[in-house]
Copies of this chain bind each other. A is one copy, B any other.
Amino acid sequence: MKEIARRAGVSIGTVDRVLHHRGRVSADNIAKINAIVEQMGYKPNLFASRLSGGGLVRSIGVVMPEAAQDFGYWRLIRNGIDRAAREFEPLQVAVQVVGFDRNSPDACAEAFRRMAEGGCEGIAVAPIHSRILRPLVEAWDPSFPLVFFDTDMACDRHRCFVGQDPWQGGYLAGKLLGLTLETGRPVVLVRFDEDDEHLQKRSEGFEAYARSVGRQVLILAQKLSDPLDRRRADTALFLARHPAVGGMFVPNASVGEYALAGLGRRMVGYDLIPGNLAALREGRLDFLLSQRPEVMGYEAVRRLSRALLFGEALPDRISLPLDVILKENLDGHLDQINS
């Protein structure tokens, strides 16, 4: 800045006002300084800048379903968030997470509002209740850095989405069963009585693959309100009635619970939650798919942090790759997560 000021024949203060668009500078000088900045390829010194900013800690808010007592998917996401928070802590980025009851749209909206009005400079939110969240989001300052994760929500506002392609995941599950089973043997798709977009899309992808190769898909309906024993018994009964069935796809993380009932059939499911790991290790599950939920949380926070610190633009979309996990490469994936 000193050099720029010298070349432009003005003071540092004037340069500063131009760089920060704070006005009170003549049009002449604005043009001259901008030209010099451009020509010199001036980049502000991050360290000086942040030091001077009064030790202002950049703060990021995360709004997501409660993960405290959860050992599943949201816990994995939370782990990634925490890892990113640790990584950016020495750069004075503070991450605060607010959880809400996932069955209460109002709690979701309330959590978002609290966060947004609480002085955060960037927010990552899992917009699982789009109806109530959309108006809130669209009314908010359009330049405010906002990242959606887990679920994408159509809305008239620029934001970044970090997430998965559930349809493709189901399709891949179909392919894996297809590759490992003789044609002609039907496969089972477990369908839960839950209104969940991911589940729906995964199932569609799975059926799409089966259709494309002409394999029969049997639907096994499951009520989530039924106790586990009951569901297992139903499953065993179902399989006994359809002995030709070669494999089974459980489109969510609960696949481990079905591993015993499906014994002898190829089993494909989702997510590296503790309950599934043992089943995979012992060969009761064959494939687990994972959309790297830790990476999802990690990336959401990381991108926001870098946007705030370095002014990096948020990409429109970050899609996470589909991992195919077998007993034989499980440990490598677990190592990766825990570092």
Query: Which residues of chain A have a CB within 8 Å of any CB of chain B?
Result: 43, 45-48, 50-51, 55, 87, 90-92, 165, 168, 171-172, 175-176, 179-180, 286, 306, 309-310, 315, 318-329, 332-333, 335-336, 339
**Closest chain B residue to A291, Cβ basis:** B332
Task: List, in ascending order, chain B residues with CB within 8 A of A310's CB.
Answer: 90
Task: List, in ascending order, chain B residues with CB within 8 A of A315's CB.
Answer: 339
Bound-state Cα–Cα, A111 to B85, Å: 37
Q: Can you tell how many copies of this chain the complex includes?
A: 2
CB distance from A329 to the nearest CB of B (A): 4
Bound-state Cα–Cα, A92 to B47, Å: 9
Bound-state Cα–Cα, A312 to B304, Å: 23
CB distance from A239 to the nearest CB of B (A): 20
30 examples of A-B residue contacts, CB within 8 angstroms: A43-B90, A45-B51, A45-B55, A46-B90, A46-B92, A47-B51, A48-B51, A51-B51, A87-B306, A90-B309, A165-B332, A168-B328, A171-B328, A172-B326, A172-B328, A172-B329, A175-B328, A179-B179, A179-B180, A179-B286, A319-B336, A320-B332, A320-B336, A321-B323, A321-B335, A322-B332, A323-B323, A323-B324, A323-B329, A324-B326
Bound-state Cα–Cα, A319 to B215, Å: 38
CB distance from A332 to the nearest CB of B (A): 4
Bound-state Cα–Cα, A333 to B290, Å: 13
Task: List, in ascending order, chain B residues with CB within 8 A of A325's CB.
Answer: 324
Bound-state Cα–Cα, A102 to B173, Å: 41
Contact status B322-A335, CB under 8 Å = no
Bound-state Cα–Cα, A216 to B168, Å: 35
**Closest chain B residue to A178, Cβ basis:** B180
